[in-house]
């Protein structure tokens, strides 16, 4: 049920170049407040991410790729170390992480476990991100990964010990929120 104290008054499309950017005018009412607000809201669709882990080897699979927004905001190389992730497109969240894991890392996983779903930047972005973990082994490796050429993805696949990956959070080499959440989950649950 929608919040009866919120009234969407107008939605103005500002851009639909790659994703959707709207200016939303809404009324916000409580017992003591009756205000009108304007906000820009970015809709890029929902996504899913997965931490691949190997319990026997105590390793994880991460990716490294260029991320323009981080480069524009002070990341001097623009490179980010992250868990495998992607937009849902027409998939359900589980189907998305299975597809993305194969495309980006080269591992064909069939069993994944949902950890949580979260809004990563709820002040401006509509995206819900579904977070998963999944166990991998060498028999699941079907390609080198690296992403899809037609999507101009240039992804480096990293297999790291869990201790190395966790130390990279401490050192500031891993600063991606979804990756930090999933690595901390793995530590708490004793997955690696």
Q: What is the pLDDT along the chain (192 residues), one digit of tens a residue?
A: 789 899 999 999 999 998 999 999 999 998 899 999 999 999 999 999 999 999 999 999 999 999 999 999 999 999 999 999 999 988 899 999 999 999 999 999 999 999 999 999 999 999 999 999 999 999 999 988 877 676 667 899 999 999 999 999 999 999 999 999 999 999 999 887
Residue 79 lies in a domain: yes
Residues 76 and 98 in one domain: yes
CA distance 192 to 189: 8
**Residue 95, C-beta contacts closer than 8 angstroms, at least 6 positions apart:** none
Please check whether residue 141 lies inside any domain of the structure: yes
Alpha helices in 49-189, H assignment, sequence order? 68-72, 93-105, 162-171, 177-189
149: DSSP letter: G
Say yes or no: 72 and 39 in one domain: no
Identify whether 65 is part of a domain: yes
Owning domain of residue 183 = 47-189
Residues 143 and 94 in one domain: yes
Q: What is the number of structural domains in the chain?
A: 2
Q: Do residues 69 and 13 both lie within one domain?
A: no
Q: Does one domain contain both 38 and 77? A: no
- The CA distance from 66 to 75, in Å, is 10
Residue for token pair 């028999």: 139
Residue 1 belongs to a domain: no
Is residue 184 domain-resident? yes
Is 88 within a domain? yes
């Amino acid at each position: 049920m929608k919040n009866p104290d919120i009234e969407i008054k107008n939605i103005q499309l500002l851009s639909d170049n790659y994703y959707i950017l709207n200016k939303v005018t809404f009324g916000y009412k409580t017992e003591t407040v009756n205000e009108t607000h304007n906000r820009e809201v970015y809709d890029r669709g929902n996504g899913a991410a997965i931490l691949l882990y190997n319990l026997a080897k105590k390793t994880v699979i991460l990716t490294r790729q260029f991320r323009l927004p981080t480069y524009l905001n002070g990341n001097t190389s623009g490179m980010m170390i992250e868990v495998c992730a992607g937009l849902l497109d027409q998939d359900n969240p589980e189907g998305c992480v299975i597809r993305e894991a194969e495309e980006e890392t080269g591992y064909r996983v069939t069993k994944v476990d949902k950890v949580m779903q979260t809004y990563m930047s709820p002040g401006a972005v509509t995206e819900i991100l579904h977070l998963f973990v999944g166990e991998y082994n060498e028999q699941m490796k079907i390609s080198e990964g690296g992403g899809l050429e037609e999507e101009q993805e240039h992804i480096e696949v990293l297999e790291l010990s869990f201790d190395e990956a966790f130390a990279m959070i401490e050192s500031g080499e891993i600063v991606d929120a979804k990756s930090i959440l999933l690595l901390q989950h793995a530590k708490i649950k004793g997955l690696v």
